[in-house]
Amino acid sequence: MRQNVRTDYSIRVLMYLALYTENLVSIEEIAKSYAISKNHLTKVVHILVKSGFVTSVRGRNGGIKLAKLPEDINIGHVVSQTEEDFYLVECFNTTSNKCVMTGACKLGNVFSEALEAYMESLSRYSLRNLVENQQMMRRALRRNDQLIDIKLIDVKL
C-alpha cells in the first residue's frame, strides 16, 4: 500500500509540531524545513485543523500547534482521516466496480485482511512514538540551510 502525499505531509506536519510544542509554528517554517511546497502544506494543514489534530491562530503572530498531546494522536486515526480512500483493488469501490470476478474470487478478501492488519499496526502507535528521537530529528530539520537550534524538550513517554 502506498500513502498519498497528503497523508505523508500530514504526518510530517504533526511530527514537526510535536517537536516544537512550546511555540506557534508557521506553515512556511515547516515547508522550508522539509523543503516542500507551502501551498500544498496549507491545504494539508486545513485538513488537520478540520480533523481536530491541529489548531490555528490567525494574524501577524499566528501559526499552528497541536490540538492534543502527542500521545493522544493516534497514527492509524491520522491515516484514516487523511487518505482519500482505501480502494486497494477495484472491488473495494462499490460505486465504480466493474470487475466481473467480484464475489467469485478471494482477492478482495485477501486485500481486506491485509488492510485491516495494516490499520491495526498503525493504530498501535501515537505521534509521541514517532518523535522519540527528538534531538536527532531536530538536527535533521533544516531551515534556510541552517540547522535548527532549539532547546531539547523533555518528553515523558
Q: Tell whether 76 is covered by a domain.
A: yes
Whether residue 152 is contained in a domain is answered as: no
pLDDT of residue 150: 42
CATH number, domain of 139, equals 1.10.10.10
Instruction: Give the residue numbers spanning the domain of 39.
Output: 5-147
CB 110, CB 117: distance < 8 Å: no
Q: Identify whether 154 is part of a domain.
A: no
Q: What is the pLDDT of residues 100-127, one digit of tens each?
A: 666 777 776 787 788 888 889 999 999 9
pLDDT, residue 149, reads: 43
CA-CA distance, 125 to 19, in Å (whole number)? 16
At 30 the pLDDT is 93
**Looking at residue 152, what is its pLDDT?**
38
Per the listing, cell 494574524 goes with 59
pLDDT at 114: 83
* Per-residue model confidence as pLDDT tens digits over 21-80: 888 999 999 998 888 899 999 999 999 999 999 999 998 889 999 999 999 999 999 998
Please provide the size of the chain in residues. Answer: 157
Taking CA 51 as the corner, what is the angle to CA 136 and CA 127, rounded to the nearest 5 degrees?
25
Examine residue 124 and state whether it is found in any structural domain, yes or no.
yes
Count of structural domains, the chain: 1
Residue 1 pLDDT level (bands cut at 50, 70, 90): low
In a domain, 84, yes or no: yes
Answer yes or no: is 153 within a domain. Answer: no
